[in-house]
Amino acid sequence: MKPKKLAILGSTGSIGRSTFDVVRQHPGQFEVVALSAHANVELICSQYSEFHPKVLCLTDDNSTCIVAERLKAEPVEIISGETGLLEVVGSDEVETVVNAIVGAAGLKVSLETVKLGKMLALANKESLVTGGPLFGPLLKKSGAKILPIDSEHSAIWQSLACGRPGEVRKIILTASGGPFRDYPAEKFSEITLEMALAHPTWKMGPKITIDSATLANKGLEVIEAVALFSVPAEKVEVVVHPQSIIHSMVEFVDSSIIGQLSTPDMRLPITYALFWPERVESGFGRLDLTEISQLTFEKPDFDKFPLLKLAYQVAETGGTAPAVFNAANEVAVEAFLDKTVRFVAIADIVDEAIDKLNIVSAPTLEDILAADRLARETARGTIKELTTC
Ligand SMILES: NC(=O)c1ccc[n+]([C@@H]2O[C@H](COP(=O)([O-])OP(=O)(O)OC[C@H]3O[C@@H](n4cnc5c(N)ncnc54)[C@H](OP(=O)(O)O)[C@@H]3O)[C@@H](O)[C@H]2O)c1
């Protein structure tokens, strides 16, 4: 079999690095044609030395110049910015795009990949959260396929294979509950950055780690599931499962519940996506059921985690509401990571943006990008107010 030609966008991040583990595990099965990062010059240069892609794209201009200088003697094209990312996706050399970019910055490349009828191995949940309504018509027209990498959506995808769409009663999205599941609500104002970055079961990039602590990540995943599996939000139930062994489930009309279990290791859903429709020896994370003493389940606490509640409202509203939720959350999390605002302020900042902005119900891409821009401005305004009073 000819090797699959991959572009790995966001190659220097947590998912990008796990994707390389999968590629290394299967020599001769993949050709890495292009990589992208924002500004991590050291890591993308070292990835170049190992995989020799034909193209590197950096979205930070200064970093593009540094990489171009460092690799000037090498047979590699160095390109830049959002247009560079779109060029990578459009290249005839690229068959499958792994989108592991963080944030709404990943939306346009996902849309372009789908428009061109290519395989989209999608970790960037923000693509479906913000651009949900735009994907359906493009998928229909181009015959492209979205292969979810998010572990919950991979589990749902695998479980859905056991029935027909009309036989689904509900989707059960599991959540670890994050580091503050048992932390008293009255002490939430004392949560520090270090506490929020200490996720109990998953090792991930900083943005998604904070989102897991506020449960905004689970909210984004509810919206993602609505867009990906064409179900109403009320059919998606979040269940807290602290062991992170069952990655999600589907309940069918005969009351059978089908789920997917494995150790919490992102290399498993990445392997499933990259080899789909086949299953291959993964070499990672085998689960010894006898070593797990218990699998527990509980309802999420919507009062302690208001962003999860808000995400359901946003998913039901649809249109540009999820884009506003996502953009305001990105700005709020960045401010928390910079230690500009407190943990509890993240939800307030997002709430304020949702309250203030008008929602377009059947948006175009331009409407979504405008909503994203306005939400960021509004969130920055709220942060300014919070930090000057
Ligand atoms: N990590 C996980 O276990 C996990 C699980 C499920 C889903 N996801 C989703 O996967 C995506 C990536 O998560 P991650 O944890 O891998 O993030 P991460 O570790 O922060 O990596 C993000 C990647 O995106 C690049 N990047 C940052 N800003 C960018 C911009 N403006 N334009 C283009 N590229 C940019 C980064 O480049 P630099 O390194 O140069 O900054 C890096 O390569 C997110 O959507 C996340 O929700 C992650």
Kindly give the number of the ligand 1 atom that is closest to the alpha carbon of 40.
40
Tell me which residue has its CA closest to atom 35 in ligand 1. Answer: 38
> Rounded mean pLDDT of 155-184?
97
Q: Domain residue spans in the chain?
A: 4-148, 150-316, 319-389
- 40 CB less than 6 Å from ligand 1? yes
* pLDDT of amino acid 220: 98
> pLDDT tens across 139-149, in order?
999 999 999 99
Q: Which residue's alpha carbon is nearest to atom 6 within ligand 1?
A: 150
Q: What's the pLDDT score for residue 200?
A: 82
- Give the mean model confidence (pLDDT) for residues 157-165: 97
Place of tokens 């020896």: 281
Mean local confidence (pLDDT), 163-185? 97
pLDDT band of residue 202 (cuts 50, 70, 90) is confident
Query: For the ranges 228-232, 268-272, 280-284, 372-376, which has the lowest average pLDDT?
Result: 280-284
Instruction: For the chain, report the end-to-end CA distance as a whole number of angstroms.
Output: 63
Pick the closest to residue 107 from 90, 88, 86, 87 (CA basis).
Answer: 86
Protein residue with its CA nearest to atom 17 in ligand 1: 205
pLDDT at 389: 65
pLDDT in tens, 334-352: 999 999 999 999 999 999 9
Rounded to an integer, what distance in angstroms lies between the CA atom of residue 232 and that of residue 250?
A: 14
What is the residue-averaged pLDDT of the chain?
97
Q: Is 60 exposed, middle or buried (0-12, 13-18, 19+ CB in 10 A)?
A: middle
When pLDDT is cut at 50, 70 and 90, the band that residue 201 belongs to is: confident
> Does the CB atom of residue 101 touch ligand 1 within 6 A?
yes
Topology of the domain comprising 4-148: Rossmann fold (3.40.50)
Task: Say if residue 296's pLDDT is above 80.
Answer: yes
> 352 in ligand 1 pocket by Cβ < 6 Å?
no
Q: Taking residues 77-91, what's their average pLDDT?
A: 98
| Domain 4-148 identical in fold to domain 319-389 | no
CATH 3.40.605.10 holds for 319-389 = no
Q: Would the CB of 210 count as within 6 Å of ligand 1? A: no
Give the ligand 1 atom nearest the CA of 266: 3
Residue with CA at minimum distance from ligand 1 atom 27: 38
User: Distances in Å between the alpha carbon of 290 and those of 129, 174, 246, 284, 294?
Assistant: 37, 21, 15, 18, 10
337 Cα: distance to centroid of ligand 1 (angstroms): 15
Whether ligand 1 lies within 6 angstroms of the CB of 13 is answered as: yes
Q: What is the pLDDT of residue 242?
A: 96
Tens of pLDDT, residue by residue over 27-51, are 999 999 999 999 999 999 999 999 9
Report the pLDDT value the prediction gives residue 285, as an integer from 0 to 100.
82
Residue 333 CA, ligand 1 centroid: distance in Å = 14
CA of 103, closest atom in ligand 1: 45
> Of all protein residues, whose CA lies closest to atom 45 belonging to ligand 1?
124
- Overall pTM surpassing 0.75 (yes/no): yes
Find where tokens 């000037």 sit: 72
How far does the centroid of ligand 1 lie from the alpha carbon of residue 264, in Å?
18
Give the pLDDT score at 283: 87
